[in-house]
A and B are shown apart, each in its own frame.
Chain A
């Protein structure tokens, strides 16, 4: 399966989706002008991955900031991952970033997925 590897920019997050090496990560800042357009390839990739998923999928969110338009798409990504058995979400937040911690907790209440919260 192809690898998605996008470098982060000042308004888009770094994305690494690599089935063979078991690395699934979205990190950095997410405030793209067109959030739907930015996240669609990621949603498509997850849809394809679902058909041949690894036994375990450790999906890392290590976001420094995301805007409200991105939050809907992040929920879409999480909803897509709900379909994949053995998925665990690793939600990272900066030590003093209560808002990011709370955002992760809210997402965990909206989807049926195992979340692990990690300070960094």
Chain B
């Protein structure tokens, strides 16, 4: 029974207001969004902050859903932390090793750009990619970086020959 208390303590220490672990679907996305919205409403969060957090949550959750045909993606994690100064939206999911380099360079590119650079990249992607392009060529990440106004933090931890665990953290300053 000790793990209950340990988990509870970990959540408190990391200011986590919501943790979901398991399979990701559109229905679950909607439930998670509704819970987080209710939580922000109940503390009277600024609407501009609420909208940005909602925005980042959607892109983060739908990213996982979109690639969810992969069996390994049934074990993903999504968390929201609420600190005094900011919200922290984190996700973690296994991805195939062959996608690691591409994803890494995309995130590096995004982090190297300023506000204007992100805006032009966004416009370029939206103009030139078809919707059937499953990854959306990283449009979701660009949007997350724009809404955050800060770099996206990420990490890839090798799991085995086939998979790595991809962690992503986005912060939204509270207005």
Contacts and interface: CB of A to CB of B under 8 A. Distances in A.
Contacts, number: 61
Contacts of A110: 123, 126-127
A12 to B, nearest CB: 11
Contacts of B140: 67-69
A93 to B, nearest CB: 11
B146 to A, nearest CB: 8
Contact of A67 (B62, B127, B132): B62
A36 interface: yes
A71 interface: yes
A10 B139 CA distance: 22
Given A65-B51, A96-B47, A99-B147, A72 B131 contact: yes
A119 interface: no
A62 B136 CA distance: 24
A106 B48 contact: no
A73 interface: yes
Contacts of B34: 10
A54 interface: no
B62 A72 contact: no
A64 B125 CA distance: 23
A110 B5 CA distance: 54
B131 A99 contact: no
A112 interface: no
Interface in A36-77: 36, 65, 67-69, 71-73, 75
Contacts of A11: 26, 30
A62 B58 CA distance: 19
B126 A67 contact: no
B31 to A, nearest CB: 10
Contacts of A72: 126, 129, 131, 136, 139
B154 to A, nearest CB: 18
B132 A106 contact: no
Interface string B9-36: 0000000000000000010001000100
A31 interface: yes
Contacts of A75: 126-127
28 contacts: A10-B30, A10-B34, A11-B26, A33-B65, A35-B131, A65-B51, A65-B54, A65-B58, A68-B59, A68-B139, A68-B140, A69-B131, A69-B140, A72-B126, A72-B131, A72-B136, A72-B139, A73-B131, A75-B126, A75-B127, A94-B47, A96-B47, A97-B48, A97-B51, A99-B52, A99-B55, A99-B147, A109-B123
Given A10-B30, A71-B126, A97-B51, 7 more contacts: A11-B26, A31-B62, A67-B62, A68-B126, A68-B139, A69-B140, A73-B131
| 3 A-B pairs with the lowest CB-CB distances in the bound complex, closest first | A33-B26, A68-B139, A36-B131
